[in-house]
């Protein structure tokens, strides 16, 4: 893929995740600073943790002011137009699914480039996709929803696995990346539509 | 500034933040180890995260035993003289404001030295000032107060911005650093005295 | 010690900590993915944070797929055989104490190898032992039990201190490591059996 194309989808994913962070922040009555922090954290924490684990510091989202600009735009929009953003539930879920798909495949790609093996690359792909949501929820003292709700991480797992398998089979990277992101997106979208969930152990007592 | 002067204000800030961490730990009935951990975390986590993001590892507060010594002194004092420390609420808030001011300007300085641009330096300045308080609150499963209460991060933002602006204008560093810290301190202190707050989105429902 | 022996005890500790993570996840009704994440996090987060602080990236548990395999085995076992695992409370506490002992001494060893001084090596030894449990509890929005309950960190402190003292006195590393791990294990085991606890400050109000 051209790097311009990657940059564009990266910012789309950043915006989508930032909206999810800002929505959580507003619901928990954080102040304006808190909303901007959660927007930025939800959008970038997965990639930042990935970069720190790879030793690729400073992380690109700290170096490049545009990530903060994009996430802050999403944060301000959510802060001052909260009702409208809440009402757009479908578009928000849609863009969140797009963000997940993009971050999972780009994260796996980046880990492979850094020399990680298949397991590490899949793990960091998943982490890139779900890390922001985990940090977002920890910051409002909630159990991360990605550890509980409908298929979310599994979608990222499939997307990252497609990228790693394509790399192992020496397939051309662009269609593989597009295929991985598409697979991730379709699984995530079907999971939302049909309420697909992972099992919960019967040992845990009543909900 | 001479490095001795920087070191002294660094330890003053460390002590102040450690008191805040130990107070939170005692209120949540943590044991002695928990109190020492929260004292150390509140005092050093902002700087540690900044150093990890800059790739400046191991962080200085892990290398230099005096940070642990200072934070543990504050922790033991709070543990065994809790009532007296609680009663000194004014001095504690005062030294916390001093710590915030010092860490914000030193953090921005350090990020500029590491080659970051203005946005990154301001972000890491803020993070240096507020990161310890965020980790402290996450460790007792509370929403970080810095995301909710009176102007706190904004003060750090102003302090860090003064440093970054002074650097961009090639002004002499010592007066710029002192000016940034002073601006941060004054804003923080007035915010406490007058109850200044950032707005909360009206969309969040009842408190 | 031979590196094979170190590898074996490392995986034993990984398995033990992963069981503790999976048990917490099942009790909080996380889904299967959440159980696997908490198993992996409880087993590896202490070592990962240590490696990040030392600049030793990527951390070995991300590079080597066997850590994920071991922690996932523990996670699946706990997920599908939850009652049996809960009933084995004694074996679980036993293996957790083994894991704590091994990670504390190996962590201090690794920090010394990386050139840290005594204080830093002891801190990173403790962090290697207790970091996974802290991350595990933060991920389910609970105050980390290591900050509250019976002597846990103190045992790690003693184990790590034995290693650091042995190094300072130039004693042969293998018996020192075995001695440190044994001391840590005995303290932790006695603390469980006899309910030894650290004091809580009387200033904290009623429990």
Written as one string, the DSSP assignment of chain A is: --HHHHHHHHHHHHHHHHHHHHHHHHHTT-BHHHHHHHHHHHHHHHHHHHHHHHT--S-HHHH-HHHHHHHHHHHHHHHHTHHHHHHTHHHHHHHHHHHHHHHHHHHHHHHHHTT--HHHHHHHHHHHHHHHHHHHHHHTT---GGGTSSS-HHHHHHHHHHHHHHHHTT--HHHHHHHHHHHHHHHHHHHHHHT----B-GGG---
Radius of gyration of chain B (CA): 17
pLDDT in tens, B61-113: 999 999 999 999 999 999 998 888 778 777 677 878 888 999 999 999 999 99
Q: Does C207 fall in a domain?
A: no
What pLDDT score was predicted for residue B161? 96
A78, pLDDT greater than 60:
yes
Q: Does A207 fall in a domain?
A: no
> For residue A58, which residues of chain B lie inside 8 Å, CB to CB?
53-55, 114, 116, 120
* Cβ of residue A148 closer than 8 Å to a chain B Cβ: no
Q: Which residue has the tokens 């809790």?
A: B82
3-state secondary structure B92-151: HHHHHHHHHHHHHHHHHHHHHHCCCCHHHHHHHHHHHHHHHHHHHHHHCCCCCHHHCCCC
Q: Is residue C163 within 8 Å of residue C176, measured between CB atoms?
A: yes
Tokens of C153: 């960190």
Share of chain A above pLDDT 70, in %: 95
Which chains have at least 3 CB atom pairs separated by less than 8 Å from chain C?
Answer: A, B
Q: Does C180 fall in a domain?
A: yes
* Cβ of residue C113 closer than 8 Å to a chain A Cβ: no
Nearest by CB: B147 against A37, A63, A65: A37
Distance CA B74, CA B77 (A): 5
Quick one: chain C helix, strand, coil %, rounded to 5?
80, 0, 20
- Counted domains in chain B: 1
Give the residue-averaged pLDDT of A15-24: 91
What pLDDT score was predicted for residue C94? 80
Nearest by CB: C119 against B29, B68, B83: B68
Beta bridge partners of A31: B200
What average pLDDT does chain A have? 88
Entry field: residues in chain B: 207
pLDDT in tens, A89-126: 776 778 788 889 999 999 999 999 999 999 999 999 99
Residue A143: give the domain boundaries.
3-198
Q: Which residue has the tokens 């002073």?
A: B182
Sign of CA dihedral C181, C187, C193, C198: negative
Q: Does B204 fall in a domain?
A: no
Residue in chain A nearest C59 by alpha carbon? A53
Distance CA B88, CA B86 (A): 5
Could A30 and B199 be called an inter-chain contact, meaning their C-beta atoms sit closer than 8 Å? no
What pLDDT score was predicted for residue B174? 87
Q: What is the pLDDT along chain C (207 residues), one digit of tens a residue?
A: 557 777 787 888 899 899 999 999 999 999 999 999 999 999 999 999 999 999 998 999 999 999 999 999 999 999 998 888 778 777 677 878 888 999 999 999 999 999 999 999 999 999 999 999 999 999 999 999 888 876 888 999 999 999 999 999 999 988 999 999 999 999 998 988 887 777 787 765 544
Which chain A residues in 80-99 lie under 8 Å from chain B, judged by CB atoms?
A: 80, 82-83, 86
> For residue A202, which residues of chain C lie inside 8 Å, CB to CB?
82
* Cβ of residue A121 closer than 8 Å to a chain C Cβ: no
> For residue B144, which residues of chain A lie inside 8 Å, CB to CB?
34, 139
Radius of gyration of chain C (CA): 17
Nearest by CB: B33 against C55, C119, C153: C153
* Cβ of residue C65 closer than 8 Å to a chain A Cβ: yes
Residue in chain B nearest A56 by alpha carbon? B55
> In terms of DSSP H, where are the helices of C57-172?
60-63, 65-80, 82-87, 89-113, 118-139, 153-168
Q: Which residue has the tokens 């929820």?
A: A137
What pLDDT score was predicted for residue A95? 75
Q: Does A206 fall in a domain?
A: no
The candidate with the shortest Cα–Cα distance to C103, out of C174, C156, C37, C65, is C156
Q: Which residue has the tokens 């080659």?
A: B115
Residue A142: pLDDT band with limits 50, 70, 90: very high
What pLDDT score was predicted for residue B94? 80
Residue A141: pLDDT band with limits 50, 70, 90: very high
* Cβ of residue B139 closer than 8 Å to a chain C Cβ: yes
Quote the distance between the C-alpha of residue C207 and its chain's center: 27
Nearest by CB: C119 against B32, B48, B65: B65
Q: Does C45 fall in a domain?
A: yes
What pLDDT score was predicted for residue B130? 93
A5, pLDDT greater than 70:
yes
CA angle A138, A142, A146 (to 5 degrees): 80
Complex ipTM over 0.95: no
Nearest by CB: A32 against B54, B123, B199: B199
Could B86 and C203 be called an inter-chain contact, meaning their C-beta atoms sit closer than 8 Å? yes
Buried-exposed string A43-59: b where 16+ CB fall within 10 A, e elsewhere:
bbbbbbbbbbbbbbbbb
Q: Is residue C134 within 8 Å of residue C159, measured between CB atoms?
A: no
Distance CA A203, CA C40 (A): 20
pLDDT in tens, A152-180: 889 999 999 999 999 999 999 889 999 99
Cα-flanking dihedrals φ and ψ of residue C198, to 5°?
A: -80, 155
Buried-exposed string B67-97: b where 16+ CB fall within 10 A, e elsewhere:
bbebbbebbebbbeebeebeeeeeebbbbbb
Q: Does C65 fall in a domain?
A: yes
The candidate with the shortest Cα–Cα distance to A103, out of A2, A202, A17, is A17
DSSP B58: S
pLDDT in tens, B123-181: 999 999 999 999 999 999 999 988 887 688 899 999 999 999 999 999 998 899 999 99
A206, pLDDT greater than 60:
no
Q: Does C8 fall in a domain?
A: yes
Q: Is residue C154 within 8 Å of residue C56, measured between CB atoms?
A: no
Q: Is residue C24 within 8 Å of residue C135, measured between CB atoms?
A: no
What pLDDT score was predicted for residue B165? 96
What pLDDT score was predicted for residue A203? 65
Contact partners, residue B169, CB within 8 Å, separation at least 6? none
The candidate with the shortest Cα–Cα distance to A127, out of A145, A141, A113, A106, is A106
């Amino acid at each position: 893929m051209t790097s311009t194309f990657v940059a564009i989808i990266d910012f789309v994913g950043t915006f989508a995740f930032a909206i999810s962070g800002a929505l959580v922040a507003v619901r928990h009555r954080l102040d304006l600073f808190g909303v901007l922090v959660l927007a930025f954290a939800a959008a970038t924490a997965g990639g930042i943790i990935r970069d720190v684990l790879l030793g690729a510091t400073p992380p690109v989202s700290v170096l490049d002011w545009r990530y903060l600009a994009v996430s802050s735009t999403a944060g301000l929009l959510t802060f001052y137009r909260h009702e409208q953003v809440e009402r757009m539930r479908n578009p928000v879920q849609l863009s969140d699914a797009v963000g997940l798909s993009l971050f999972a495949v780009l994260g796996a790609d980046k880990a492979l480039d850094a020399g990680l093996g298949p397991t590490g690359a899949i793990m960091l792909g998943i982490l890139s996709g779900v890390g922001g949501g985990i940090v977002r929820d920890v910051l409002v003292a909630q159990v991360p929803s990605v550890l509980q709700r409908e298929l979310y991480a599994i979608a990222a797992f499939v997307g990252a696995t497609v990228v790693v398998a394509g790399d192992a089979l020496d397939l051309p990277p662009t269609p593989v990346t597009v295929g991985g992101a598409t697979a991730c997106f379709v699984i995530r979208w079907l999971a939302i539509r049909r309420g697909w969930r992972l099992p919960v152990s019967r040992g845990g007592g009543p909900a």
